[in-house]
Structure 1
Amino acid sequence: MKLTVIGGTGLIGGRLTSTLQDAGHDVLVAARATGVNSYTGEGLEEALTGADVLVDVSNSSYTDEAAARDFFYTSTMNLLSYGRAVGVPHYVALSVVGTDRLARAEGGYFAAKEQQERLIVESQQPYSLVHATQFFEFIRNITDRATHGGKLRVADVLVQPMAAADVARGVAEVALGTPLYGMAEFGGPEVFTLEQLAIQDLRFRQDERDVLVDPLSTYFGAHLQSRDLLPGATARIAPTRYHDWRIQSRVADATVTPSRAE
């Protein structure tokens, strides 16, 4: 099978490309670094011609609503238009568990993601949406953003994070199947309070700061109910546990040569 991966050099895209290639599939990596730009349309016709599946795991570098909306609207319309023109039979896009709830609570970036999903659903093209929970790789960013005045305050919410490698495998599973005309959810094997997860992250970094649960704190600006970030009961559960991922990451870091670590 031939698959074109938009955003194929990123955190998920790189792992997805490797997963698909290891399974014997023909993968075209589409990113600005390879001369393909979904926002401007540069190289899209060539990248999509002959593809059995278009997989969009690209992301906006902007988190404010106006810029994120512009990126996702323009890129998605380009992908839909070029994909239709060359006859791509399956459009797969990665999004976020609870996108609709996050969009209602905060708007911003999540409103842009909801707009992206709506464009795909309303395009009348064969599609599948993949919703994944937060990545382990972004937990440090969450704890760092929760620091205010030297104190770490987090929202009173539950999270069910997963490894980026498991996200990539989930996207690959959906991409290699028939169009869902709907959404598949993926989540990690463990549910934490955000407080528990932040403490684990800090202690792993030998940071002894206390973590406070603040009912006024937000999750990337969104005021959420406690279960808004959790997938539904039918979600597919990834195998990698947080502690095991931490150990694997430490081993991987230790094997990097000094020249490559710089």
Structure 2
Amino acid sequence: MKIVVVGGTGLIGSQVVTDLQEAGHEAVVAAPSTGVDTLTGAGVDEALAGADVVVDVSNSPSFADDDVLHFFTTSTGTLLDAEERAGVGHHIILSIVGTDRSDAGYMRAKVAQEKLVRASGRGWSVLRATQFMEFAKQIADTSEVDGVVRIPPVAFQPVASADVARRLAEIAVAAPQDGISEIAGPERVRFDAFVREALAARGDTREVVADPSARYFGALLADGALVPEGDSAIGRVSFEQFVGSAA
């Protein structure tokens, strides 16, 4: 199969490409650095020629509300139009667990993206993932106030990026789900506890405080907002394994 991975140079996309290639498929990397711009349309038709599947794991360079909404709606529209011309039968996007349970601007943009894909009339699959274990430092950096990292003490079920990539590769070579599935890590911990232990494993001595008023993507969180409500695929890498490998 020829599978185009949009955002194929990033954390998830590069692993999806490797997984697909190791399974014997033709995985095409589509990103600005390879001459494919889904905002302007440059290089998109050429990249999608002869493709069976598109896996979109691209992300907005800006998380400002208007910017991220523009990115996901414009980029997705560009891809869906090009897929119709090319006869691509399966469009896959990576989304976020709880995206429809938050009023954060980024989450609203992902909901808009999901709606476009569902309404496309083509085969589609949406994989919603919990937050990646690898992003503990970035979360801490954006949550730091006067040297203290403030994290809401809500349920958190982080997943390793390798597990997300593996699941996307599995979906890519199967029939379209025409539905939404989810993946999460094998353990639930408290959000602040995860950040605290992940930082400590790296020798980062910043204080991490449980703060119910702390925001995530600009929104206040209810407990359970970031974890699956029903069945989900479960990743292989545990929180303990991740923290241990980071030490």
Shorter-chain TM-score: what band? over 0.9
2:65, 2:231 → 1: CA distance? 30
1:210, 1:28 → 2: CA distance? 43
Q: Equivalent residue of 1:27, what SS?
A: strand
1:9 aligns with: 9
Q: Which runs of 5+ in 1 are unaligned?
A: 251-262
- Kept after mapping to 1: 8 A contact 2:201/2:244: no
1:243 aligns with: 240
Same amino acid, percent of matched pairs: 43
1:209, 1:88 → 2: CA distance? 48
1:260 aligns with: none
Encode CA deviations 1:185-223: one digit per residue, 9 max, x unaligned: 000011110121121022112234432211211112111
- Kept after mapping to 2: 8 A contact 1:162/1:240: yes
Letter in structure 1 aligned against 2:93: A
1:122, 1:207 → 2: CA distance? 45
1:120, 1:82 → 2: CA distance? 13
2:66, 2:192 → 1: CA distance? 31
Q: Which runs of 5+ in 2 are unaligned?
A: none
2:194, 2:168 → 1: CA distance? 25
Letter in structure 2 aligned against 1:160: Q
Q: Which of 118, 131, 134 is matched with 1:137 structurally? A: 134
- Pair 1:224 & 2:221 matched: yes
2:40 aligns with: 40
1:42, 1:164 → 2: CA distance? 29
Q: Equivalent residue of 2:28, what SS?
A: strand
- Kept after mapping to 2: 8 A contact 1:154/1:214: yes
Q: Which of 208, 211, 221 is matched with 2:208 structurally? A: 211
More moved, 144-153 vs 219-228 = 144-153
Q: Equivalent residue of 1:185, what SS?
A: strand
1:208, 1:39 → 2: CA distance? 40
2:204, 2:162 → 1: CA distance? 26
- Pair 1:80 & 2:80 matched: yes
1:62 aligns with: 62
1:90 aligns with: 90
1:194, 1:120 → 2: CA distance? 31
1:187 aligns with: 184
1:173, 1:235 → 2: CA distance? 15
The CA RMSD over aligned residues, in Å, is 1.3
1:207, 1:121 → 2: CA distance? 42
Q: Which of 159, 180, 189 is matched with 1:162 structurally? A: 159
TM-score for both structures, normalised by structure 2:
0.96
Q: Equivalent residue of 2:209, what SS?
A: strand
- Kept after mapping to 1: 8 A contact 2:198/2:243: no
Encode CA deviations 1:121-166: one digit per residue, 9 max, x unaligned: 1111110001011001111111222211122221121110111111
Shift of 1:97: 0.7
- Kept after mapping to 2: 8 A contact 1:185/1:232: no
Q: Equivalent residue of 1:114, what SS?
A: helix
Encode CA deviations 1:29-78: one digit per residue, 9 max, x unaligned: 11111111111111111111111101101110110111111111111111
Letter in structure 1 aligned against 2:210: V
- Kept after mapping to 2: 8 A contact 1:3/1:28: yes
Q: Equivalent residue of 1:13, what SS?
A: helix
